Amino acid sequence: MLPGLTALGNVSLPLEIAGQADAREQALSMLEAVGLTHRLQHYPGQLSGGEQQRVAIARALVHQPSLLLGDEPTGNLDHATGEKVLSLLFDLHKESKSTLVLVTHDERVAERCQHRVRMDGGRLYEA
């Protein structure tokens, strides 16, 4: 996240760059979907790790990508916060009907995925 922008600014930025007139409204809607309407005007340094992850997820999904890549999306979070973020990520992915590709070392995260592959010695194997 960009430290000089609020949560709302971070989520609306991709839409503003794309020239979408309703960027603020879409960002507000996405922040509501991730449960952060009470933190709109907070900067990244004022947010917890879980809140920062939710803002990042909102920013990634606000422009409705067909492909979403997640590299250790719960890696720096405690178990409870990680579970909340993961549930949110899967729920929003399901609603948007996008393709979600995750990289993780966490078996609990991998178990929630429809298709799994492992990398061992630089080679991919069906899990």
Q: Where are the domains of the chain?
A: 7-126
Determine the pLDDT at residue 127: 81
Determine the pLDDT at residue 17: 95
> What 3-state DSSP class applies to 18?
coil
What's the sign of the alpha-carbon dihedral 34, 39, 40, 42?
negative
Give the global pTM.
0.80
Determine the pLDDT at residue 110: 92
What's the sign of the alpha-carbon dihedral 15, 21, 22, 24?
positive
Rg (CA), the chain: 15
Task: Give the span between the Cα atoms of 119 and 124, in whole angstroms.
Answer: 4
Determine the pLDDT at residue 2: 95
Determine the pLDDT at residue 49: 87
Task: Give the span between the Cα atoms of 5 and 99, in whole angstroms.
Answer: 28
Residue 85 pLDDT grade (very low, low, confident, very high; cuts 50, 70, 90): confident
Residue 88 pLDDT grade (very low, low, confident, very high; cuts 50, 70, 90): confident
Would you say domain 7-126 falls under CATH 3.40.50.300?
A: yes
